[in-house]
Amino acid sequence: MAGPDHCEVVREFFELFKTPWEFWRPDGRYQTVLCAGGAVAPPSATGLIVTYGAESMTPGPGTKTPLEAPPVSSMLMYRGGRLPIYGRSVALWDEDILGLIEETSGRAVACVQKTDQQVRVRIGYDLFHEVRVLLTVGQPPAQAAHPTLERHIDLLRDVIVEYAGPLVEIPPVPAGHPFIACLTHDVDHASLRRHKWDRTMFGFVYRATVGSILNVWRGRASLGDLLTNWAAAARLPFVYAHLARDFWQEFDRYVDIEKGLVSTFFIIPFGGDPGSTDGGRAPAARAAGYGAGDVSGPLRRLAVAGREVGVHGIDAWRDGARGLSERSAVAGAAGVNVGGVRMHWLYRDAQSPAALEEGGFDYDSTMGYNDTVGYRAGTTQAYKPLGARRLLELPLHVMDTALFYPRYLDLPREEARKRIGAIIDHAQRAGGAVTVNWHDRSIAPERLWGGAYVDLLGALKGADPWFSTAGRAIAWFRQRRSAVVEEVRIESGALRVRACATSGDCLPGLRLRVHPARAPLRYPAPAASTPRRYIDVGWSDHIDTRVVV
């Protein structure tokens, strides 16, 4: 039960928390009723009633103390993890609480009221307002470390399983693997030879010489890195004279480093064009020194090697016609169909999904941070942006420049490993896709971040994900979105579940996950890392199974 302004958000939320649901009908019989946006379950409702909201509320039957308090701060805690709240929230009291607390005061932000026919759980914030913020604006960089949307799902799942379970779910986990890994590369500078007497060339010379000395002094580079960069700076005249290799042309080297893995390369369609913003022309520095037509040969080799080619868009985010021309330019240069886009400098706004759909794109992978790593949308899952008809968004989680640039996180290599490791650990628990962006020139002088990329590949391989191009990952998420649970019922002491889905070509299958009912939590709740008990069954296009719970 939710207000009409929440309907689109509700539908998308239940694609992410994929459990059987429907909008409330007066003649329906429900195990659980979820109320939000001011909706109130009728007195005749039985079972579990979960009400989200920060508005004032009359104390219910059996309540021993007042339910309301002044608004609290925007950081909550649940199962040992932080849960940022971007709207209003209220603290609640009652003698039975769930372990959802306000971080500073320790006051409860959820309460439970029980009668013979009902369990009423009140949670003191508006769930679907929070989901709307995450899927549109996203989280500020200060909260990037928190997979907030996943924690909203965890809380609701726990409440249902503990007070109305068992629960059937199709998790965002490909059969045979704990999560998906998408390796991507934004090709901003396909060739150093194309930059003569411009800011890119002078920046390279400074960073390769003076900058390398500073990095050695700061412990961010070795003496070997210093010598490699000085040698590269000395070879620069020979590169321009075509007497030495252009060491920024690293397409083939990525294929060598990744060996049998696959990846996606996002290509600038037109050189010399910075694009535009609502205020006029974008900064001149946004213009690339190459266009897709300048790298047609390498792109066709990438396609033969099984790599995906996408668009590193300029104006596609705000103009569908420009999106069509940018997609056509890259497709023509690569000789393949192009369905994906990531905007250069991560430009986007609320109208971008509609513009990108008009440009013919199947997916976007722009939702991320320039200056940090983590969960801008609060999730590892691909989702349909609000207002889109078919386009899916594959969030970006890790970017090399955010990790290592002095004006961003400026991390030592070991600290970067820890940041990436935390993201991988979360994906092993929650599923979804970890999307990485390592720029084309980042394994070359003067950056020399190839060793850190090898570290990242090793950490990912150790977690055994399904390595996929961005486009194939989107195809898997579409397969999951097609899944429908047709029937769930108790039969001879077991749970019988029937479901169907549209299976994709050579894609991993799905999982059917059954969460058995369990005893209600008592405060303090267990930590987020505490395993939750469930039963998984693999399937693809159809399943009819009985699970003893």
Q: In degrees, to the nearest 5, what angle opens at C-alpha 300 toward C-alphas 400 and 248?
A: 40
pLDDT digits (tens, 9 = 90+) for 402-429: 999 999 999 999 999 999 999 999 999 9
- Residue 3's pLDDT band (cuts 50, 70, 90): confident
Q: Give the pairing type, strands 433-437 and 398-399.
A: parallel
Retrieve residue 211's tokens: 């900058």
Backbone angles phi, psi at 335, to 5 degrees: 70, 25
- The per-residue pLDDT for 55 is 73
Classify residue 90 by its DSSP letter. Answer: B
Which 3-state string (H, E, C) describes 102-126?
ECCCCCECEEEEECCCEEEEEECEC
pLDDT value at position 159?
95
- Give the integer Cα–Cα distance in Å for 100 and 111: 9
**Whether CATH 3.30.1360.170 fits 183-191+248-476:** no
- Check residue 528 and give its pLDDT: 55
Q: How far is CA 527 from CA 59, 79, 317, 531, in A?
A: 30, 4, 40, 9
Asked if the model's pLDDT at residue 365 lies above 50, the reply is yes
Is residue 60 predicted with pLDDT exceeding 50?
A: no
Q: Is the peptide bond before 166 cis (omega within 30 degrees of 0)?
A: yes
pLDDT of residue 261: 96
Prior bond to 446 cis, omega within 30? Answer: yes
pLDDT in tens, 442-485: 999 999 999 999 999 999 999 999 999 999 999 999 999 999 99
What average pLDDT does the segment 125-151 reach? Answer: 96
- Report how far Cα 502 is from the mean position of its chain's Cα atoms: 23
- Rg (alpha carbons) of the chain, rounded to whole number: 25
Non-local (6+) Cβ contacts of 153 within 8 A are 16, 17
- For 415, half-sphere exposure in the C-beta direction (CA atoms, 13 angstrom radius) is 10
What is the per-residue DSSP string for 284-326? Answer: GGG--S--GGGGHHHHHHHHHTT-EEEEEESSTTT-HHHHHHH
Strand order in the sheet with 47-52: 32-35, 47-52, 118-123, 110-114
Q: How far apart are CA 61 and CA 118, in angstroms?
A: 11
331, 476, 13, 173 alpha-carbon torsion, rounded to 10°: -140
Four-CA torsion 459, 462, 464, 468, nearest 10 degrees: 30
Question: Is 26 a residue whose pLDDT tops 70?
Answer: yes
Tokens at 156, concatenated: 């609701």
Residues in the chain: 549
Q: Domain extents for the chain?
A: 4-165, 183-191+248-476, 197-241
- What is the reported pLDDT for 93? 66
In this predicted model, what pLDDT tens digit does every residue of 152-204 receive, in sequence order? 999 999 999 999 989 999 999 999 999 999 999 999 999 999 999 999 999 99
Nearest to 50 by CA among 2, 88, 108: 2
Please identify, in words, the CATH class of the domain defined by 4-165. Answer: alpha beta
Write out the H or E segment, with its range, that includes residue 357: helix 352-358
In the chain, what percentage of residues exceed pLDDT 70? 93
User: How many CB atoms sit inside 10 A of residue 538's CB?
Assistant: 14
Q: What is the pLDDT of residues 502-548, one digit of tens each?
A: 987 889 999 999 999 876 655 455 555 566 789 999 999 999 999 98
C-alpha distances out from residue 547 to 189, 489, 491, 495, 510, Å: 54, 11, 10, 5, 16
DSSP bridge pairs for 101? 77, 108
